Amino acid sequence: MPMHDIKKLLEKYVAGTCTPAERSLIEQWYQQESDRSKVDTTKISFDRLEADIWQQVQLTVAPPAKGLTMTRGRLLKIAASFLLLLGAATMLWLVWPAKEAWQEVIAAKGKPLQFMLEDGTRVWLNAGSQLRYPAHFKGASRQIELITGEICLDVKQDPEHPFFIKSGHVNTRVLGTIFNVRAYSQLAYLQVTVQQGKVAVQCDNKLPQLAGQEVIVLPGEQVTVHTQSQEISKTTVDATAVNGWTTGQLLFNNERLDMISLMLENKFNVTIAFADPALQAYRITAGIEATDTLEDVLTALCLANKLNYSTQNHKITFSKQIH
C-alpha cells in the first residue's frame, strides 16, 4: 500500500470515518506494538527530550504567517502528532497484509481466458471462472487460488519454489506439469485431473474426516473430493478430453450431467435446470465441437441419452423421456 494511502487511513481513524475493518486493523496494530513495547524509560530526561524536539521544530517548521501567533506548546503538539503519524504509517507499512499484491481475474461466460503468470506458468481459465494470484511470487513457494470454476495449468518447473493451487478447502501441490482443477461453487464436489506429471491433493481442517490425507494423482487419473460426504475417490480418465475445453471442444466421457450443464451455462451464457434432481448425477458421453450451436448440443445430448429439454424465459430444463 502506498505511503500516502496509509496516511489517509490514519487520518480517517482520527476523524472517526474508518470502516470497521480499517479501524480493527489499526487497533490490532496499536495493541500489538503496545504489547511489544518493553522499553525502560526511567533514565530518559524528558526535559532534555522536549528541548531537542523544540530545536528540531525550529529548524523544520516554517515561520507562522504574519499576524498569527503560535505558542511553543502548540508547535510541540503539532510536531508530536506529525511524528506519531509518520511512525505509525511506517509501522503499518511493515505489518499491512500483502493482499494488495494479489490480482483477481474473472473469465466472462462464453469467453475463456489464456494468459501466463510471472513465473512462466501457462493458465487456461474456463468461462465463468474466477482466479486470484499474486502479481509477484515471493517466499519459498508459489500459490494461487481458484475461487470458482475450472482451470488448466502448465506449471513452470522450479523445484526450489513448489507450486500450490488452493480451491475451497482443497490444496493441490504440483509435482509435475499439466493438470486440471474443477471447483465450481455450485457443486458439492471438486475434481483434479492430471495430463502430465503428477500432483498431490490434500484437504484442510475444514474437512476434518479428510484432513491430513494426501492423494497422489498420476497422468490419466482423476481424483474427486466430495465436500459434503467428505469422501475421496480416484478413477482413470482421458485427461486430454477433460482439457478439451482449452481448445474450444467439450468432450464428455461418462461425465455427470450437473457438471456438463455448468460448462454449457458458461459456454453459451444460459441457465439450465432439472425437472428431476436425480438427473444431476446422470452420466453422459458426448463430444461438442467449437462450432456447434446450443441447439445442436441440446438435441444431440437428448437423443443419445433419452432426455428431453424445454426452453422458457431463457431457461433450459432437462427432463426424462416418457415412454
Kindly report the CATH number assigned to the domain that includes residue 157: 2.60.120.1440
Q: Name the amino acid, one letter, at 285.
A: T
In degrees rounded to 5, what are phi and psi of residue 296? -60, -45
pLDDT score of 22 more than 80:
no
In the block, residue with C-alpha cell 477433460: 242
One domain for residues 8 and 61: yes
Q: Is the pLDDT of residue 250 over 70?
A: yes
Q: Between 59 and 239, where is the model more confident?
A: 239
Q: Which of 193, 222, 243 is the last residue of a domain?
A: 243
Model confidence band, residue 83 (pLDDT cutoffs 50, 70, 90)? low
Considering the domain architecture, whether residues 53 and 183 belong to the same structural domain is answered as: no
% pLDDT > 70, the chain: 70
Q: Tell me the pairing of strands 315-320 and 271-274.
A: parallel
Mean pLDDT, residues 81-102 taken together: 54
> Of all helices (H) and strands (E), which one includes residue 153?
strand 142-154
Calpha distance 175→173 (Å, rounded)? 6
Given 96, 116, 136, the domain boundary residue is 96
Residues 221 and 301 in one domain: no
Most confident of 1-15, 64-78, 260-274: 260-274
Helices (H), the chain: 3-15, 20-36, 46-60, 72-95, 239-242, 257-268, 294-305
In which band, very low, low, confident or very high, does the pLDDT at 56 lie, cut at 50, 70 and 90? low
- Please indicate, yes or no, whether residues 117 and 191 belong to a single structural domain of this protein: yes
70 shares a domain with 143: no
- Domain-ending residue, one of 243, 274, 307: 243
pTM, rounded to two decimals: 0.66
The residues, ordered by sequence, that sit 6+ positions from 93 with a Cβ below 8 Å of its Cβ are 1, 3, 6
In this structure, the answer to whether residues 115 and 186 fall within a common structural domain is yes
- Count of the separate structural domains present in the chain: 3
164 and 75 within one domain: no
Whether the pLDDT of residue 58 is over 70: the answer is: no
| 109 and 208 belong to one structural domain | yes
Distance between CA atoms of residues 298 and 293, nearest Å: 9
Check whether residue 227 and residue 127 sit in a common domain: yes
The residue behind cell 501466463 is 116
Rounded mean pLDDT, 233-257 = 92
Q: Are strands 163-167 and 122-125 parallel, antiparallel or unpaired?
A: unpaired
